[in-house]
């Protein structure tokens, strides 16, 4: 690294021995390994963990995308004093590497140069083994990130088409921190630094010789292998115990030992959310990686603002509720405005904020009061395919005010909302839903607005946990009216899913008919369903049962027929004749 690069690298956490020497460090306290290149952004989990620990006074190094065929990368920072932190990266490595039809992906938005050549399959397992091979009897290895978090109990693995053990057993790591885990990371690091007991820390998983008697006893791994209904039982308990207020610990027998999952760690408060957001991120790719090329993800995340965490939408094919939680944690308007103002310090900022949102943009700023006091409900959802819970009162007042504050900042030309939006919540909010949509149409979208109905057949929507098609029709009517009244030509684009459990070819033909006759468009954003760990849809795919009724459902497992389902809805339609070509 040149002297110029080394000076610039001081703005980052170190990733080379030269940077450590320049800082006067003999040893890192913690070394973080990631399946992504080191991108110092609040949208990158490893960077956030590193900056949090840095603020607490720990010496943290980061190794992004280490070479797994040699020891040159894994050894370049030496051995940490406290622990190794291992993450597969911002995206599950198997999802990053393969399409839903198991074709290898050639590109990777988190790899310099964009070629998918740096992220190994099952990255968490590979990196843990790499550490073990090169550092005998080393300090603890701690797993984190979405890849590990969603595999913390027995789980269905689509790519091998079998149930796999909790990832701590396959990886031979020592500890797993699940979910967002901010509090658990702080407490675990402090405990290891002070030589104190860490096995009672919330948000932590570990392997034990004995069960924890007062925890929920999950069906054993062998029971799940023997009986698919036992696997549904396991997932129900797993799913219902993800809330810091209501959850109990979980215990599962795996062979002769036990997987122990402590109750979730507490969520961050609003001031704590603001504190994490204010950490000194450079929002750049580390100079070490730059000779290999740019990372595509920076085009969208560099000047985006994350306004909140969590989602209670509970789409059955989505793991956000299990990983981030089903309770919204909101940043203050002052924190968001401050971050937007800081963008103006960057030479390449053109006044455009790429996204102002979260997992679901219009969940900012309100929550169910019952849930905040008692935690999430067992076996009762905030929203499903049929209705919104009467305790949940959508209120877009605060998000409207926040959007106005951001777009009125001097130097901000446009603040787009590119995150997902639940149109059913707009329909449900009789006081401010219309005003929120009007703000979006007038100020916060450019040419098109993305929504995700996913399907239109009610029995498929029921299995997906998505609202019915009449909700979409009502929303589209309102959206079109607003655009007409404002003299704008802005369109809706629709995300659709093919081959979800319960969906047959005839259902895709009905979906195609609906998009042609009702929406007057040819869908382009259609994807084949991928069964990912931590989702009810993956449970359906494996068991071929509705997990609620335990009745058998149709599941398309032939790859060519899955592709045919997608082709049906994407077929070009001649709107004059009404026939698909």
pLDDT in tens, 257-316: 999 999 999 999 999 999 999 999 999 999 999 999 999 999 999 999 999 999 999 999
Provide the pLDDT for residue 6. 75
Nearest-angstrom CA–CA distance, 233 and 537: 14
Provide the pLDDT for residue 385. 73
Provide the pLDDT for residue 37. 98
pLDDT band at 317 (very low <50, low <70, confident <90, very high): very high
Provide the pLDDT for residue 580. 47
Provide the pLDDT for residue 7. 78
CATH code of the domain in which 143 resides = 3.40.50.280
In a domain, 35, yes or no: yes
Nearest-angstrom CA–CA distance, 221 and 243: 23
As a whole number, mean pLDDT of residues 145-156 equals: 98
CATH code of the domain in which 388 resides = 3.30.750.210
pLDDT at 467 over 50: yes
As a whole number, mean pLDDT of residues 412-436 equals: 95
pLDDT at 223 over 60: yes
As a whole number, mean pLDDT of residues 388-409 equals: 95
Do 409 and 462 sit in the same domain of this protein? no
Q: Are 11 and 23 in contact (CB under 8 A)?
A: no
Do 94 and 164 sit in the same domain of this protein? yes
Do 64 and 29 sit in the same domain of this protein? yes
Do 312 and 376 sit in the same domain of this protein? yes
Q: Which of 203, 236, 256 corresponds to the end of one domain?
A: 203
Do 468 and 410 sit in the same domain of this protein? no
The three-state secondary structure class of 104 is strand
Spatial CA neighbour of 466 closest among 318, 310, 320, 326: 318
The 10s digit of each residue's pLDDT in 5-64 is 777 878 999 999 999 999 999 999 999 999 999 999 999 999 999 999 999 999 999 999
pLDDT at 254 over 60: yes
In a domain, 282, yes or no: no
Range of the domain at 419: 303-446
Please list the alpha-helical segments (H only) found in 302-429. 320-323, 333-342, 369-374, 397-407, 423-428
Rounded-to-10 torsion of CA 107, 113, 117, 122: -70
pLDDT at 4 over 60: no
Q: Are 60 and 82 in contact (CB under 8 A)?
A: no
Do 405 and 430 sit in the same domain of this protein? yes
As a whole number, mean pLDDT of residues 436-457 equals: 94
pLDDT at 499 over 70: yes
Q: Is 4 exposed, middle or buried (CB count within 10 Å of its CB: 0-12, 13-18, 19+)?
A: exposed
Do 316 and 407 sit in the same domain of this protein? yes
Share of the chain above pLDDT 70, in %: 98
As a whole number, mean pLDDT of residues 421-430 equals: 94
Q: Which of 161, 181, 203 corresponds to the end of one domain?
A: 203
Q: Which of 178, 203, 228 corresponds to the end of one domain?
A: 203
In a domain, 436, yes or no: yes
Number of domains the chain contains: 3
Do 456 and 380 sit in the same domain of this protein? no
As a whole number, mean pLDDT of residues 477-497 equals: 94
In a domain, 576, yes or no: no
* pTM score of the predicted model: 0.95
In a domain, 378, yes or no: yes
In a domain, 298, yes or no: no
Mean pLDDT of the chain: 95
Question: What are the tokens at 19?
Answer: 């940077």
Q: CB 18: neighbour CB atoms within 10 A?
A: 16
pLDDT at 515 over 90: yes
Out of 232-236, 447-451, 490-494, the most confident range is 232-236
Do 97 and 119 sit in the same domain of this protein? yes
In a domain, 334, yes or no: yes
CATH code of the domain in which 539 resides = 3.30.750.200
Edge-to-edge order in the sheet of strand 141-143: 60-64, 30-34, 83-86, 141-143, 175-177, 204-208, 257-261, 250-254, 216-217
Q: State the binding site.
A: 311, 315, 318
Nearest-angstrom CA–CA distance, 192 and 177: 14
Share of the chain above pLDDT 90, in %: 92
Do 199 and 55 sit in the same domain of this protein? yes
Residue 423 backbone phi and psi in degrees, to 5:
-70, -25
In a domain, 93, yes or no: yes
Provide the pLDDT for residue 2. 59
Provide the pLDDT for residue 225. 98
Q: Are 58 and 65 in contact (CB under 8 A)?
A: no
Do 440 and 327 sit in the same domain of this protein? yes
pLDDT at 119 over 70: yes
pLDDT at 575 over 90: no
As a whole number, mean pLDDT of residues 557-571 equals: 96
Provide the pLDDT for residue 93. 98
The 10s digit of each residue's pLDDT in 151-195 is 999 999 999 999 999 999 999 999 999 999 999 999 999 999 999
Do 438 and 460 sit in the same domain of this protein? no
pLDDT at 559 over 60: yes
pLDDT band at 574 (very low <50, low <70, confident <90, very high): low
Q: State the binding site for [4Fe-4S] cluster.
A: 311, 315, 318
């Amino acid at each position: 690294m040149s002297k110029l690069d080394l000076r610039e690298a001081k703005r980052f956490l170190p990733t080379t021995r030269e940077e450590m020497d320049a800082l006067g460090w003999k040893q890192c306290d913690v070394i973080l390994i990631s399946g992504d290149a080191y991108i110092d952004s609040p949208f990158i989990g490893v960077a956030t963990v590193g900056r949090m620990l840095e603020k607490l006074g720990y010496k943290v190094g980061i190794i992004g995308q280490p070479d797994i065929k040699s020891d040159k990368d894994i050894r370049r920072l030496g051995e940490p004093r406290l622990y190794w932190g291992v993450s597969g990266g911002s995206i599950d490595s198997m999802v990053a590497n393969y399409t839903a039809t198991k074709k290898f992906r050639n590109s990777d938005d988190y790899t310099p140069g964009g070629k998918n050549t740096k992220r190994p399959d099952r990255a968490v397992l590979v990196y843990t083994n790499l550490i073990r091979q090169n550092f005998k009897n080393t300090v603890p290895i701690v797993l984190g990130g979405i890849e590990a978090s969603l595999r913390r109990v027995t789980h269905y693995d689509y790519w091998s088409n079998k149930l796999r053990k909790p990832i701590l057993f396959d990886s031979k790591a020592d500890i797993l921190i699940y979910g967002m885990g901010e509090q658990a990371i702080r407490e675990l690091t402090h405990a290891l630094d002070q030589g104190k007991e860490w096995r009672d820390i919330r948000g932590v998983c570990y392997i034990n010789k004995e069960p924890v008697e007062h925890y929920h006893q999950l069906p054993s791994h062998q029971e799940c292998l023997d009986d698919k209904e036992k696997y549904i039982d396991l997932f129900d308990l797993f799913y219902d115990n993800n809330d810091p207020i209501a959850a109990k610990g979980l215990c599962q027998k795996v062979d002769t030992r036990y997987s122990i999952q402590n109750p979730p760690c507490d969520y961050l408060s609003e001031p704590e959310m603001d504190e994490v957001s204010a950490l000194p991120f450079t929002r750049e790719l580390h100079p070490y990686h730059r000779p290999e090329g740019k990372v595509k993800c920076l085009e969208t995340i560099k000047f985006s603002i994350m306004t909140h965490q969590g989602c209670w939408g509970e789409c059955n094919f989505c793991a956000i509720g299990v990983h981030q939680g089903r309770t919204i944690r909101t940043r203050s308007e002052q924190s968001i405005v401050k971050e937007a103002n800081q963008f103006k310090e960057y030479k390449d900022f053109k006044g455009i904020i790429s996204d102002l949102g979260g997992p679901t943009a219009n969940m900012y700023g309100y929550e169910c009061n019952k849930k905040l006091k008692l935690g999430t409900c067992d076996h009762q959802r905030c929203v499903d395919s049929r209705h919104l819970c009467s305790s949940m009162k959508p209120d877009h007042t605060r998000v409207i005010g926040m959007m106005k504050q951001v777009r009125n900042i001097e130097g901000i030309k446009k603040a787009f909302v590119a995150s997902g939006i639940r149109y059913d919540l707009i329909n449900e909010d009789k006081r401010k839903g219309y005003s929120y949509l009007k703000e979006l149409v007038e100020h916060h979208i450019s040419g098109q607005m993305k929504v995700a109905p996913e399907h239109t057949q009610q029995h498929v929507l029921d299995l997906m946990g998505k609202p019915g098609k009449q909700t979409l029709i009502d929303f589209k009517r309102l959206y079109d009216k607003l655009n007409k009244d404002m003299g704008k030509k802005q369109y809706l684009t629709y995300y659709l899913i093919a081959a979800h459990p319960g969906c047959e070819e005839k259902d895709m033909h009905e979906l195609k008919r609906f998009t042609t006759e009702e929406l007057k468009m040819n869908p382009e954003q259609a994807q084949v369903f991928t069964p990912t760990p931590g989702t009810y849809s993956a449970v359906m795919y494996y068991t071929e049962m509705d997990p609620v009724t335990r009745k058998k459902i149709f599941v398309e497992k032939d790859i060519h027929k899955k592709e045919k389902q997608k082709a049906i809805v994407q077929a070009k339609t001649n709107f004059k004749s009404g026939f698909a070509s």
